[in-house]
Amino acid sequence: MIDLIARNLKLKNPPIVEKDERPWRFGILGAARIGPAAMIRPARSHPRAVVTAVAARDKEKAKAYAKEHLIPLVLDSYADLVKSSEIDVVYNALPNGLHYEWTMRALEAGKHVLLEKPCTSNAKEAKAIFKYAQQKNLIVMEAYHHRFYPALHRVKEIVDSGELGKVQSIYSDLCLTAGTILVKDDFRWYYDLAGGATMDLGVYTLLSSRYITSADPVEITEATSSPYAKDSRIDRAMVTKFAFPSGVTAETLVDIAIPPSFGFIPTPPRNSLTVKCEHGEIKYLGAAMPHLFHSINVKPSKGPSRTEKVYKPKDGPGEEWWSSYRYMLESFIDKLDGKEPKTWISPEESITQMEWIDATYLKAGLPLRPTSKYVPEGGETL
């Protein structure tokens, strides 16, 4: 318990290291709630990263955000930020429906982009972004932070070792207690901003299944939406069943606002990944935010069970208190520096991810999230 408290205190207050002479200068698009955990605090402990600027729709909000988080420069608009000579990299933390336009604008301005998940509203947009980034010789990476954490790597290592035999099925869930994280006007409730549970949480569960199996689905056998009461195009929750090669199945459950029991008792959140194999199973609790707390419960069919916790890798950089975002930043900076990152989300992986998100919505009888009307300079309408 003492270690848990100490680690989480350091997560919130990481050491500020001396910066290199020419660190990568990040600008944040949007005064987003995710910014401190995903970018600001991780950058403090990296000698090659510094958060230089922020811009928001409301400049006063941006000023307050900058003051709270010690960001030196507040710019008047998103456009001013992506064009600023004071930054090298844009962290795009805007609502999903704005990812395409402002990532394309950042690339037009010659900036690399760390792009919050999901990378775009649909696969068509994803293909266009990564094609343009390649043409501009710039780096865009989708920020699936959980894929960079050593605990998930350990789950994959156990699976690949053959200790429990071949994978038979995967079950993963990620569900939020109603009223705790998403407020009534949160962008996730708006179709035009590419909201929905699959877009926000289903991307985690799908990516984990793809990672564990080292494969992509071959079919979606079922996708059932629980619609948002005010807009049936928005999936408050989604159950999806995937067929993978070699007979492996994967079921995912995501919910951005689990209804209270009996109408008033808050339902606890869920966050787990279970891999059933021929000779046992692995249950990984805390899969989406493993740096806060996690456990890897290994249960062989024969022999004793065991529990593992992995906050730091056996080899490579890392500290017990590093968050998944800090591990992600380490890899992203390595890529910017021309090094080979230990973990990476490739353009192909992101595009395939969006193709299966699109397929999920279609299988559930829902429309794809709307395509941006933004036309890049010299480009064409999507």
Hey, how many other C-beta atoms are within 10 angstroms of the C-beta on 223? Answer: 22
Active site residue 117: yes
Length of the chain: 382
Hey, how many other C-beta atoms are within 10 angstroms of the C-beta on 50? Answer: 18
DSSP string, 30-49: S--TTHIIIIIHHHHT-TTE
3-class DSSP state of 236: strand
Which residue of the set 111, 117, 156, 283 is catalytic? 117
Please report, to the nearest 10 degrees, the dihedral formed by the alpha carbons of residues 72, 77, 78, 84 taken in order. -50
Distances (CA, A) of 70 to 74, 114, 164: 11, 20, 49
Hey, how many other C-beta atoms are within 10 angstroms of the C-beta on 297? Answer: 15
Residue 336 to residue 83: CA distance in whole angstroms: 19
Sign of CA dihedral 88, 89, 94, 100: positive
* Closest listed residue to residue 207, CA positions, set 299, 154, 145: 145
Q: In which residue are the tokens 């606002």 written?
A: 257
DSSP string, 252-316: EEEEEEEPPBTTTBPPPPEEEEEEEETTEEEEEES-SSTTT--EEEEEESSS--EEE--SS-SSS
Residue 73 to residue 79: CA distance in whole angstroms: 14
Q: Report the chain's C-alpha Rg in angstroms.
A: 20
The distance from CA 50 to its chain's CA centroid, rounded to whole angstroms, is 21
Catalytic residues: 117
